Amino acid sequence: METYGEPERWHNDFLRCTNVKSNGYYTYWRPHRECDDKYLHTAKLFEYA
């Protein structure tokens, strides 16, 4: 957060744009989820330490 600051967000609080640490490129996301609610239970979430 100190280097790149707070990521940009859409009005619904989803991430809009972030900076990739490894190469300096920007990554952009849509303002809506790509996974429908009926498939959300099959999604796996990972946390990297």
What are 1-49's pLDDT values in tens digits?
Answer: 566 678 889 988 888 998 888 888 888 888 988 888 898 888 888 888 6
Q: Provide the pLDDT for residue 32.
A: 86
DSSP string, the chain: -TTT-SPEE-TTS-EEEEE-TTT--EEE--SS-SS-GGGGGG-------
Q: Provide the pLDDT for residue 3.
A: 67
